[in-house]
Chain A
Amino acid sequence: MRVTVCFYSYFKDLTGCTQTTETLPDGSTLDALFDKLILRLPKLAGMQKSTLMAVGVDYQDRTCILKEGDEVSLFPPVQGG
């Protein structure tokens, strides 16, 4: 399955892109996606503990099982106000 991954804030600088796609086996979790992304985008490795993850417009934890066509967003802690 293929998923789209979007980056926000300084994660765009770390990865050098605003968005990418990733191909994963069916039933893969957000955790598996992150591990695969690190192979291509190694600067994400240092952000593992502080990364917030969303699928669509809802926060999800790393055990979330992805499905074909999901839009995943990865970003650092938020700072509104």
Chain B
Amino acid sequence: MKRQLTLTTEPIAEPALLAQRSLSSGMGAVVCFLGVVRGTQGNASIRALEYEVFQRMAEHQINLLFDEMAKRWPVDSVRLVHRVGLVQVNEPSLWVEVVAPHRGEAFAACQWLIDEMKRVVPIWKKPVLSDP
């Protein structure tokens, strides 16, 4: 399974990511997920989220998830980009792409990866409140 992991302070450039897509023959499904910073947290209005990462451990844990994903589904490739640092409202903080032969396994693998990432990968976010 091909894999690519990027933890970056730079904005997620979707057009560039799409241009870099490489599909093996026999692949029939590409599932992409884009996580975007919401403008509210609870009842509070926010203008950004500040993401903090324990980089070495995050990379290790995501690679463990990639290993497990490869055992569970016939995924051909996975790419994951996560922003760190300050991310403004409406900007993407997470981009995930899973390529597999069929949509069922592509959707399932993508959903599982994101759920597990939120459970074990050491990334935290702190809201930056809007000015009153």
Q: Is the interface of B mostly helix, strand, loop or mixed?
A: mixed
Partner of B118, one of A6, A56, A81: A81
When each residue 101-124 of chain B gets 1 if its CB lies under 8 Å from chain A and 0 otherwise, what string results? Answer: 000000000000010011111111
Instruction: Say which one of A24-32, A34-42, A72-80 lies at the interface with B.
Output: A72-80
Q: Which residues of A contact B94 (CB under 8 A)?
A: 80-81
Answer yes or no: A9 CB below 8 A from chain B CBs. Answer: yes
Q: A80-B94, A81-B35 are in contact. Are A8 and B61 (CB under 8 A)?
A: no
Partner of B82, one of A10, A75, A80: A80
Total A-B pairs in contact (CB under 8 Å)? 58
**How many Å lie between the Cα of A75 and that of B123 in the bound state?**
10
Find out whether the CB atom of B124 lies under 8 angstroms from the CB atom of A78: yes
Answer yes or no: A54 CB below 8 A from chain B CBs. Answer: yes
Q: Which residues of B contact A75 (CB under 8 A)?
A: 54, 122, 124
Answer yes or no: B21 CB below 8 A from chain A CBs. Answer: no
Find out whether the CB atom of B60 lies under 8 angstroms from the CB atom of A58: yes
Instruction: For chain B, residues 80 to 97, give those with C-beta under 8 angstroms from any C-beta of chain A.
Output: 82, 93-94
Q: Which residues of A contact B118 (CB under 8 A)?
A: 78-81
The chain B residues found within 8 Å of chain A, CB to CB, are: 35, 51-52, 54, 56-58, 60-61, 82, 93-94, 114, 117-126
The chain A residues found within 8 Å of chain B, CB to CB, are: 6, 8-10, 52, 54, 56-59, 73, 75-76, 78-81
Q: What are the nearest 4 A-B pairs in CB distance? A: A80-B123, A9-B124, A57-B60, A57-B57
